[in-house]
Structure 1
Amino acid sequence: MSFLTVRDLTASYGVSQALFGVDLTVAKGEVTALLGRNGMGKSTTVKSICQMIRSKGTITLDGLNLQNLPSYKVSREGVGLVPEGRRCFSDLTVRENLIATARPGEWDLNEVTKLFPRLDERKGQRAGSLSGGEQQMLAIGRALMTNPRLLILDEATEGLAPIIRQEIWAAIRQLKQETSVAILLIDKSLKELSAISERAIILERGRTVWSGKMTSLTHEITEKYIGI
């Protein structure tokens, strides 16, 4: 049963329309990959789900209509976002970044630092002084501190060193195996996505052009919609 359902989603930036009809679903406890070339509407879809921009269409989370809710209420309903570009609070310490978003639940400082031990080592350090990979861990930890029911990761491994990328993927696998959180994942690494995702949705020019099981994603489909 779908936990997140998006139907016929359209969105614009001023007079420039970016989404023309996006359909997607994410099931509880599963990882769904949102794919497509750059500029095809993936991040705009995420912003629409989180109500960071206004859109039209249907967006429901566990039966609740998210349309027209302020973004902070969407977060309170259980949507945790790891945004593209990390966007940590650079002048706050690691610990302060984490507790700033904390909500009651199983994810607390202890659990987050168990998932990412580096954050425990640097808990008194300003976020702006962390490496890019450590900031990404912090962004994921900050989202988990909201105790989300749906976790959205927008390019969580982009631009990171290979060893750090593997740590991030290992953490996502652990989340899938040990929690019931639904995960919507945007990334360019098809190899890693194929190993962790049950389903995939492909966007092309602001529309859903393919959806199905990850095992049904053929080389021909990826060359048509994802290849350069």
Structure 2
Amino acid sequence: MSALLEVEELTAAYGQVQALFGVSLKLEEGEALALMGRNGMGKTTTIACITRMLGARSGRIAFAGHDLGRLPSHKAARLGLGLVPEGRRAFRGLTVRENLMAAARKGEWTFDKVAELFPRLAERADQKAETLSGGEQQMLVIGRALMTNPRLLILDEATEGLAPVVRQEIWAAIRALKARGQSILIVDKSLKELATVADRCTVLERGRDVWHGTPAKLTPDLAHRFLGV
């Protein structure tokens, strides 16, 4: 049986500048995979290719038995890719409820389910997104991705730049999602928190996958070598 997501020998470029050099990774149904590496090593570019925001030069991307090939991003999303992009991108002029309902598709995730996961959003349901704190906006963007009822939730630096107490709320939600069997591809800098969620890790260095393994096998020496921590 094939994996939920398979990326094989992926190459990509921005104009004449090549950014990915044969990246491969695999994610099974119900699994959380941490995509790791220092800044500028190709993590966000890999996600952009998976979600079809950026066209690959070569390689294969298969999701849920479909070859993403040259699919436009909106058709890839309809297959079940739910993206929480780097940076908070709520629809600022819409209320919390309107943001969530704008993304709603049939499935398990409803407004009430999202409000249960993030009680702050229930309290602010009729507030415009632009009035929310940065942490609340990030919760809203995660909730909006869940409202699409994705088979794979992709989190790109979902806790970056947030206050510690808010980061802990979001990590608790991510752990709850994992416990429910949600498949997750996650980029984050917190090794401690990633270790509580990720089944496996893929490390990128200069646009290449250089290490695959479980969090337990990512020793302090390897973390320093590949991640600078």
Show CA shifts across 1:171-195 (max 9, x none).
00000112x3210010000000012
Deviation at 1:2, TM superposition (A): 2.1
Q: 2:67 aligns with which of 57, 65, 68?
A: 65
Q: Which runs of 5+ in 1 are unaligned?
A: none
Kindly state the Cα deviation for residue 37 of structure 1 after the two structures are TM-superposed: 0.2
Match of 1:31 in 2: 32
* Distance in 2 between residues matched to 1:109 and 1:7, nearest whole Å: 36
Give the Cα–Cα distance (whole angstroms) in 2 for the partners of residues 189 and 2 of structure 1. Answer: 26
* Identity level (%): 59
Whether the aligned pair in 1 keeps the contact of 2:11 and 2:20 (CA below 8 Å) is yes
Name the residue aligned to 1:223: 224
1:45 alignment counterpart: 46
Corresponding residue for residue 192 of structure 1: 193
Partner of 2:166: 164
Q: Is the 8 A contact 2:13 2:19 kept in 1?
A: yes
Give yes or no for the alignment of 1:120 onto 2:118.
Answer: no
Per-residue deviation, 1:215: 1.4
Question: 1:16: Cα distance to partner?
Answer: 1.1
Give 1:11 deviation, angstroms: 0.7
**Aligned residues, how many?**
227
Mapped contact 2:120–2:136 kept (Cα < 8 A):
yes
Q: Which amino acid in 2 is paired with 1:108? A: T
SS of 1:96's equivalent in the other structure is helix
Displacement, 1:34?
Answer: 0.4
Per-residue deviation, residues 53-81 of structure 1 (Å, max 9, x unmatched): 10021111122111211101111000000
Structure 1 residue ranges (4+ consecutive) displaced by more than 2 angstroms after TM superposition: none
After TM superposition, the score normalised by the length of structure 2 is 0.97
2:107 aligned with 1:105, yes or no? yes
- Which of residues 137, 140, 146 in structure 2 aligns to 1:138? 140
SS in 1 for 2:195: helix
CA distance in 2, matches of 1:122, 1:25: 38
> SS of the counterpart of 2:148?
coil
TM-score by length of 1: 0.97
Provide the C-alpha distance between the structure 1 equivalents of 2:80 and 2:118, rounded to a whole number of angstroms.
22
- Once superposed, what is the RMSD of the aligned Cα atoms? 0.9
Partner of 2:11: 10
Do the aligned partners of 2:175 and 2:196 also contact (CA within 8 Å) in 1?
A: no
CA distance in structure 2 between the aligned counterparts of 1:136 and 1:156, rounded to whole angstroms: 7
CA displacement 1:114-163 (0-9 Å, x = unmatched):
00011111111111111000000001000000000000000000011111
Task: Tell me how far apart the structure 1 counterparts of residues 8 and 100 of structure 2 sit (CA, whole Å).
Answer: 33
